[in-house]
Amino acid sequence: MSVTRHGRPSLQSYPIWLGSRLVLKPILTLWPIGAFGLRPLYLIDEIFALGPKAKGIVRDQITLAGRPVELSVPSRPSRRDDASAVLYLHGGALVVCGLATHRAVAGRLCQDIDLPVYSLAYRQLPEAGVGTSVSDAYQAYRELVLERGFKHVVVAGDSAGGFLAGKVIELAYRDGLIPPAAFIGYSPLLDLDLGSNPDRTSRSDAYLPIRKLAALRPKFDKGPIELTGARRIVDVPAEAFPPSIVITAEDEMLEPDALALVESLRSGDVEAELHSYSWQVHAFAVLAGRHPEAGNAIARTARFAKAAIEAARMGRRGLQQVG
């Protein structure tokens, strides 16, 4: 299959990669995952919330399906389609991060795609398991298409948010809803049981330790809402997927699953692209505004999604919402 490789990394890439390998990876390897270790992690998002506000973006705090959402809209005059939007699902291994940590990537995507971006604060561990996170993401999508009148919703996410985006695609297909107009995955987690895969290693990954994912795996099935359907996004039928674009860091632990997904989609005649960037860290798009490769990746995905929205708009005139 065809993978677009992006070499010649910027000078900023090397210290970020090495710093992650030498500092962040040992910390993540040793960090406890009991209640003592997980509960204080909300402070990370609180700290990021104190950062400077992005220019060119108007933000508002709203709710979707009862969950907090940060809505980002470009402040400049726009000719955007009022029937299109982006649902963004942040990463963080389903235990950490939130709206503030991912404000930069959501804001940059908002500017590049010239559409409103709904960034969702879904429930996660230790409060709730993956089934609940999936339910929050899917119910937010349902509200966008069934109550707020959006006909073309791009689902996007990084890392664990990529898994949630894949589940939204699966559930929309199951329920006969208008499918997402496009899928954007930045280093998406595509296999919930990756940590127990004996053929997988995190030896070449800049900071993700596979043993930590293995330790988290039993916690993923915590309620209150049970996870149903696929645990591997590659098991979702290809016909459920819209045009999809995936960004990975070369040789990161999650890249083989991204390769498998894109290969499956292309075999099913679904438009799909995979772009692999050398000397990058997992989910490097989150570094938007401070890193050239992050800006390049987001701009590339925005162009892809805009083309997919236009194709969906031309092909769905008169389509009625169901579900």
pLDDT digit string (tens) for 104-115? 999 999 999 999
User: What tens digit of pLDDT does each residue of 265-282 get?
Assistant: 999 999 999 999 999 999
pTM over 0.85: yes
Q: What is the pLDDT of residue 73?
A: 94
Mean pLDDT for 164-176 is 98
Averaged pLDDT score across all residues of the chain? 91
- φ/ψ of 191, rounded to 5, equals -135, 110
Q: What is the pLDDT of residue 318?
A: 33
Q: What is the pLDDT of residue 323?
A: 35
Q: What is the largest CA-CA distance in the chain?
A: 55
Domain map (residue ranges) of the chain: 4-312
> Looking at domain 4-312, what is its CATH homologous superfamily?
Alpha/Beta hydrolase fold, catalytic domain (3.40.50.1820)
- For residues 81 and 279, the model is more confident at 279
Mean pLDDT for 192-206 is 92
The band of 1, judged by pLDDT with boundaries at 50, 70 and 90, is low
What is the pairing mode between strands 117-120 and 67-74? Answer: antiparallel
The band of 50, judged by pLDDT with boundaries at 50, 70 and 90, is low
The band of 82, judged by pLDDT with boundaries at 50, 70 and 90, is confident
User: What tens digit of pLDDT does each residue of 294-322 get?
Assistant: 999 999 999 999 999 999 888 743 333 33
Q: What is the pLDDT of residue 321?
A: 36
Residues in Cβ contact with 268 at an 8 Å cutoff, skipping those fewer than 6 apart: 237, 238, 239, 241
Residue 64: beta bridge partners? Answer: 67
In Å, what is the CA distance from 24 to each residue of 28, 97, 158, 162, 282?
A: 6, 15, 18, 22, 12
Q: What is the pLDDT of residue 81?
A: 73
Give how far the C-alpha of residue 123 lies from the chain's centroid of Cα atoms, to the nearest Å.
15
Q: What is the pLDDT of residue 159?
A: 96
| Percentage of residues in the chain having pLDDT higher than 90 | 78
Mean pLDDT for 23-33 is 91
Mean pLDDT for 214-222 is 91
Mean pLDDT for 179-195 is 97
